[in-house]
A and B are shown apart, each in its own frame.
Chain A
C-alpha cells in the first residue's frame, strides 16, 4: 500500500480526482480515501495532526509513505516542487535525512517544519511547512526511510505570503505536479516490491501450517528452512513421502533440515 498524507482537503482534491480514490467511512476524525494500492488521509494542519494521521493508518504491514503538501520558501519559484532530503523540526531542533534512492527529476531541498506560518521568506535554500517533521518521525517508525518521502510544492515566498494562498490556488499548485507525483509513486511501488521480497512468506508455508501444528518458535525455524528450500530447490516440492509420514512438527523440522542439507548446490 502507498499511503499519501495530505494536510488539507484542497491539497487532497486533485489527488482524489486523479487517482479516482473513493471515500471510506472512518473513525478517528480523519477523512480517508482509497483505491487499489493507494490510500490517502487528510490529516489537518500541523505536525501533531500529521503524526496522528500517520499512526492512524499504520498497521503491521510495510507501506510506502508520501507526504504531499504546500510549503513556503524563497529559493524556488512558486509552483515548483521538491523532494525533501533534510527535515529540521524548528521547535525541537531534531533532524531527519530521508534517504534518496528513487530516481526522480524532481528538485531536492531541505525543509524546516515550523509551528506557525513563516512571516518572511525564511533562510536561503530552505522550504518551510507545518507537517513534515511530525509525519516523518511517525512514518519512519513503521517502515524504512527509503520508503518515507515528502514532496512539497512551493506556494508562497516573501513576495507572496502564505495568507494569499487560498484553497483554489493550493489545489491548482498540486494539480500541476501530478506527473511528478505519479513518477514518485511509481518508484515507491518498485521499492516496496523489493522490500516485499525480503519479507515474503515462503512458498509451501501455508500447507505446512495446515498439515502440522508448529509453535511460534518452530514457525520461525520452518520459515527459514523453507526459504533455504526455495533457494536451493525452487522447482521441487518439499512434500515427499518421508516427510508426509511424520506425525509431529518436532519430527518434521529435523527431517526437513536434513533433506535441505543434502541438496547439492553448484557454482
Chain B
C-alpha cells in the first residue's frame, strides 16, 4: 500500500498526477523540485526502503527511447527500450534494479505523450519493424491499475503497426488488455520460473500458476504471447526442475499464439552484483559458484553452457526453433 506520494513541481498540475492522487486520498503528499532529490541521494538503503516504497510522480525530459541491450532480441533488427517507470512492485532477488538504484521508491514519469512521440519518431526511422521493450526498469503491468500506462501505449501502438511493443511482466493485472481489442503488434511476454525458484526468489510476485492462468486468458483473447525464461537459475537439480517446468508451461501454450521464447541464465554487471550481495549477504542464490570478470558476474562458462543447452534441448521438444531466442549476445 502506497502511503507517500512525492510530487515533482513540474507535474503538480498534470491530469495524471491529479488522478493518481485521487486514488490515494490518505497518502501523505510531499512536493519536490526534481525527483532526483528524493531518488538519488546516497544515504538510502534499497532493502530497508523496499519495506515501504513511496511513489514519486515526475516528468522525464530526455532519453525517452534508448537502444536495447543485445540480449533484448526477439527476432527484430531494430530494438529499443523505454522506461516510463523506475522500480518494481515485486522484489525478485536476482533483479538488477536493487543493485542499480539506492532507492526502492517507484518513479512514474507521467508525461506519457513524450514517450509516444519518441517511439513514433524512432519507428519512422526504419523500414523494417522496430521493437520497443517496456518493462526494462520495472514490470510492465504490475502497477497498471494505477498508471494506466499499458492501456495508453496500446492505443499509440495500434496506430503504428510498424512499431512492435513488448510488455514484459510477471503480473496478473491484465484487465486493461482483456477490456480492449487485441492488436497484432504487441507481445505480452511473461517471465516465468519453476515454482520452487519463484517461491524462493520472486518475492511478492504472483505464483507461477497465477501467471499461467493470466497468460491463458490473454492467449484465449487473441493476444500474442511471449515466454521469458530469464534468468535460468543454477542448482544441482536443474535438469529435472526445468524439464518438469517447461512441460508444465507448454501444457498452457497455444503454439499459434506463441510469438517468441527467450532463454538466458543469471548474469549481472559486477558493481550491481556487489551491491546486491551487500544487501543480502546470506542469499543462497548469490552463494552459487559464480565467476567475476570484474565487469560481469555469471555462472562459470561450463555450467552456463551445460545448463542452457539442456534447457534449449528441452524447449525444442515443445516448440519450433525459429521462435527461440538467446538472451545473450550469441544466437541460439
Binding site for B on A (CB under 8 A): 85-86, 95-97, 99-101, 103, 108, 110, 140-141, 143-148, 191, 194-195, 197-198, 200, 202, 224, 227-232, 260-261, 264-267
Contact = CB atoms under 8 A, between A and B. Distances in A.
Given A86-B30, A97-B6, A195-B48, A266 B235 contact: yes
Interface in B167-185: none
Please list the 3 inter-chain residue pairs (A to B) with the smallest Cβ-Cβ separation, ordered nearest first: A228-B287, A231-B287, A144-B45
B44 A99 contact: yes
Contacts of A141: 43
Contacts of A95: 32-33, 37
B236 A101 contact: no
A99 B49 contact: yes
A224 B276 CA distance: 13
B194 interface: yes
Nearest to B281: A227
Contacts of B196: 267
B10 interface: no
B169 to A, nearest CB: 22
B41 A100 contact: no
B43 A144 contact: yes
A200 B48 contact: no
A131 B37 CA distance: 21
A97 B282 contact: no
B284 A97 contact: no
B117 interface: no
Contacts of B47: 194, 198
Contact of B281 (A96, A110, A140, A198): A198
Nearest to B38: A97
B146 interface: no
B30 A267 contact: no
Interface of B: 4, 6, 28, 30-33, 37-38, 41, 43-45, 47-49, 51-52, 54, 103, 105, 194, 196-197, 200, 233, 235-237, 241, 277-284, 286-289
A266 B37 contact: no
Given A194-B47, A267-B235, A101 B287 contact: no
Given A97-B37, A101-B48, A200 B287 contact: no
Given A97-B32, A144-B43, A194 B48 contact: yes
Contact of B52 (A103, A200, A266): A103
A98 to B, nearest CB: 9
A110 B105 CA distance: 19
Nearest to A265: B235
11 contacts: A100-B52, A141-B43, A143-B43, A145-B43, A145-B44, A146-B49, A227-B277, A228-B286, A231-B282, A264-B236, A267-B197
B237 A144 contact: no
Query: Among B38, B200, B278, which residue has the most Cβ atoms of chain A within 10 A?
Result: B38
B236 to A, nearest CB: 4
Contact of B287 (A108, A197, A232): A232
A110 B200 CA distance: 39
B150 to A, nearest CB: 29
Identify which of A99, A110, A202, A232 gathers the most chain B CB atoms within 10 Å of its CB: A99
